[in-house]
Amino acid sequence: MLRIVEDTTSTLMTGQHTGHTPVRNNGLSRYLYDTDVTVAEVLEKAGYATGGFGKWGLGRENTAGVAAKQGFDVWFGQYSQTQAHFYYPYYLMHNLERHPLPENEQKKRGTYAQDAIHERALRFIEGKSIRTYIGKRRDRCRTLFSRRCGGGSGRRCGRRPRQPGSCTTSRPTSARRRTSRSITQTW
């Protein structure tokens, strides 16, 4: 199944259909321009605190399309679709700066990217009456669970991928539950 993510995010953030938004497909190296207006910019002008967390894909470092230049007061996650495919990256982006994850160097499994993104999102959400965009990348680990979990992604067994193509039996659910509860309460 082909998943088109960048154009969907662009449509959600700009309110334009894919015939008008500059980002129309994955991998075409087209990003938002500084003239494009995002929902975050509209909310920011109206006085709201805006935070974005997760996968962006609408601009790489040093382009006008990065989330920090598109109306988000705080951004933490990955700007690149390619970088978002790594569970243990060497860095995540905090606004326009690289936030190094030295515990992941030399292919070590120190900080799971989605856990770090969750924690930053929770810190931003706590104590605020806000609307937050969290562009989570879904963990995929289907084929390893066919016998034990009855197929599917393994979520019914409480598992998460450790590296592309491998899975572990421990899935920390506390951050996921707290995030869901916090988002539900803010809406």
Q: What is the pLDDT of residues 24-50, one digit of tens each?
A: 665 556 788 889 999 999 999 999 889
Q: What is the pLDDT of residues 102-151, one digit of tens each?
A: 999 988 899 999 999 999 999 998 877 666 666 766 555 444 444 455 55
Determine the Cα–Cα distance for residues 55 and 51; give it in Å rounded to an integer: 13
DSSP 107: G
pLDDT(63) > 80: yes
pLDDT for 26 equals 59
- The pLDDT mean for the chain works out to 75
Which residue carries 């309110």 as its tokens? Answer: 15
The arithmetic mean of pLDDT across residues 144-171, rounded, is: 49
pLDDT for 166 equals 47
Comparison of pLDDT for 108 and 168, the residue scoring more: 108
Q: Where are the domains of the chain?
A: 6-140
Count of CB atoms situated within 10 Å of the CB of 175: 17
Share of the chain above pLDDT 70, in %: 63
